[in-house]
Amino acid sequence: MRFSEHFFLAVFAGTVAAQGNSCKTIQYAFPAETNGNATRAEAVKAAYIRSWSEYAANCFGNDDLLPVSRGCRNDLDGFGATIIDGMDTAIIMGLTNIVARQLEHAATVDFSKASALVELFDINIRYIGGMLSAHDLLASGLFPNPYNQNHVDALVTQAAKLATNLKPCFETATGLPATYVNYTTMQPVAGFPLTVGHTTYLNVTNTAQAGTLILEWYRLSDKTGDRSFHDLAEKAESWLLKPNPPPRYPGLVGTATDSNTGRFLTLDGGWKSGVDSFLEYLVKTHIYNPAEDINDQWKNFWFTAADSTQDFIALHPYGHPELTFLSELDNDGNIEWSMDDYSCFAGGNLMLGGKYFDRPDLIALGEAAAESCHVTYNTTVTGLGPLSKSFPETIESIFYGWRITGDPKWQEYNWEIFQALNTTRTENAPYWEITDVNAEYGGQPYDYLSSYYFAETLKYLYLTFAEPDVVSLDRFTFNTECHPMLIQAGTCAVEEAKRKELF
């Protein structure tokens, strides 16, 4: 036997041994090709085509469509947010003509020209995440790829150019990123000042903003070989993992830090806006590549937050023991007995981490939270949730409920929501956002259709009804904008794919 043959067999045996001993399975063991609903999936696809057609006819190249007036909005620097944010959804749906046009735009848009202030958070999750995801899907071999390969390859180079333009955000005393970069001076610019007691802080960094980088920027480093993106995200994350002062409840950190000192300025924890995706990425980036989680620091912090959630802020409204909501904390760390719509993503995240780390108690908590968020939908006049306009967080948790438990009730929940979306529009216009979920037909239409409708709302709905092996949770981990990225290690499906590549 030649040395190369011996080495090959040794590597193969080691891979199989690792798979047998420690690999993870996230998705429910669905029987093959029996769990999708093609009719419902096609209905969601038709909604994408309808909305995209209106956008393309009236606003192509702009960020967002105004569906009532058929105008356009450019709140995300005019890079074409709907195109890039919604591109991977079109890839998954097999809309090749649409994707070809989207790829051409992504390959040619000039990310060096924008309004003076460019925001780190949304540019990262929507544009960088969207391009990396589209590239992963097309490179995976799991989806048709009849496209101009120069345009496909440009997804990574364009993501790297955009991330490079955002690097000045990290030029702070601590490495906690500023909210904006000034594209004229290429200097970091802080967000809004924050007054706590009698002190006003000017260099405030939002916790979610600083903690929602590791997945995209680690993936970008893996794709480009440029470690600098990884290191910037890692340094920012390190401050959040050692909170000073410590939170009222372990792991449930507040929403604001001082980028000059690294100190937390508030104790308003929970799973709400401002801290949500920091907690979300701890488990998702561990799943992406467990080897990157040095000393299991992400895993352990997430466990701490999840356990505190279970022990202190998972509450039942008076007279409704069947409902479980996750309370916010106020600036002093006191329980507020309120929960925003963003927090409804937590049910899915708790189910995901509970399944991956074999914590049935956290799966149960996630199911209870997702069920309760669903109740806020099916008790309104429109069948849509309160607070805000086509927000996808409840739909997201329902998707995870379906993929992790295999209970078809979750499919029915998302079908109810999709049907409700259809009752709030008219035949002469695509989907829009609404002003009152407790008014017939949603009250007045709100003249705006965000890119996350294409990226998140329709993707989570479509994947609820597609066959479960389409973007399997055992092959992909999703960023906070529902952009799937290829898992690098740890799941049995990934280890099996590596084994096949050895042949």
**Per-residue pLDDT for 20 more than 50?**
no
- Asked if residue 443 belongs to a domain, the reply is no
Q: Show the domain range for 10.
A: 1-30+472-503
- Asked if residue 129 belongs to a domain, the reply is no
**Per-residue pLDDT for 376 more than 80?**
yes
**Per-residue pLDDT for 425 more than 80?**
no
**Per-residue pLDDT for 72 more than 50?**
yes
CB of 404 within 8 A of CB of 364?
no
Q: To the nearest whole percent, how much of the chain has pLDDT over 70?
A: 89
- Asked if residue 24 belongs to a domain, the reply is yes
Mean pLDDT of 259-283: 98
Say how far apart CA 170 and CA 269 lie, in whole Å. Answer: 24
Q: What is the mean pLDDT of the chain?
A: 92
DSSP state of 319: T
- Asked if residue 211 belongs to a domain, the reply is no
User: Which pLDDT score is estimated for 378?
Assistant: 82
pLDDT band at 383 (very low <50, low <70, confident <90, very high): low
Q: At what angle do helices 409-423 and 38-59 cross, to 10 degrees?
A: 40
User: Within 13 Å, how many C-alpha atoms sit on residue 442's CB side?
Assistant: 25
- Asked if residue 18 belongs to a domain, the reply is yes
Say how far apart CA 59 and CA 122 lie, in whole Å. Answer: 20
Mean pLDDT of 365-380: 91
Q: How many domains are contained in the chain?
A: 1
| For the chain, counts of helices (H) and of strands (E) | 20, 15
Sequence-separated (6 or more) residues with CB below 8 Å from residue 293: 285, 286, 299
pLDDT band at 182 (very low <50, low <70, confident <90, very high): very high
The H-or-E segment that residue 307 falls in is helix 297-308
pLDDT band at 428 (very low <50, low <70, confident <90, very high): low
Beta-sheet pairing, 180-182 with 71-73? unpaired
User: Which pLDDT score is estimated for 347?
Assistant: 99
Say how far apart CA 335 and CA 385 lie, in whole Å. Answer: 23
The SS3 of residue 385 is: coil
- Asked if residue 216 belongs to a domain, the reply is no
User: Which pLDDT score is estimated for 451?
Assistant: 96
**Per-residue pLDDT for 41 more than 50?**
yes
User: Which pLDDT score is estimated for 452?
Assistant: 95
Say how far apart CA 422 and CA 431 lie, in whole Å. Answer: 8
Distances (CA, A) of 191 to 20, 112, 205, 240, 479: 49, 21, 7, 18, 23
CA of residue 367 relative to chain centroid, distance: 19
- Asked if residue 43 belongs to a domain, the reply is no
Going by C-alpha positions, the residue among 308, 289, 131, 282 that lies closest to residue 208 is 282
Distances (CA, A) of 485 to 309, 399, 453: 28, 17, 19
User: Which pLDDT score is estimated for 7?
Assistant: 36
- Name the residue with higher pLDDT: 452 or 391: 452
User: Which pLDDT score is estimated for 198?
Assistant: 93
**Per-residue pLDDT for 438 more than 80?**
no
Query: 3-state DSSP: the chain helix, strand, coil percent, rounded to 5?
Result: 55, 10, 40
The H-or-E segment that residue 206 falls in is strand 204-206
Say how far apart CA 119 and CA 6 lie, in whole Å. Answer: 52
**Per-residue pLDDT for 262 more than 90?**
yes
Query: What token pair was written down for 141?
Result: 């071999």
- Asked if residue 26 belongs to a domain, the reply is yes
* 408-418 pLDDT, tens digit each: 999 999 999 99
Say how far apart CA 362 and CA 153 lie, in whole Å. Answer: 40
Say how far apart CA 365 and CA 309 lie, in whole Å. Answer: 9
The answer to whether 480 is a known ligand-binding residue is yes
Can you give the pTM of this predicted structure? 0.93
User: Which pLDDT score is estimated for 387?
Assistant: 55
**Per-residue pLDDT for 83 more than 70?**
yes
CB of 51 within 8 A of CB of 90?
no
Q: To the nearest whole percent, how much of the chain has pLDDT over 90?
A: 83
Mean pLDDT of 258-283: 98
User: Which pLDDT score is estimated for 240?
Assistant: 99
Say how far apart CA 249 and CA 360 lie, in whole Å. Answer: 22
pLDDT band at 68 (very low <50, low <70, confident <90, very high): confident
**Per-residue pLDDT for 233 more than 80?**
yes
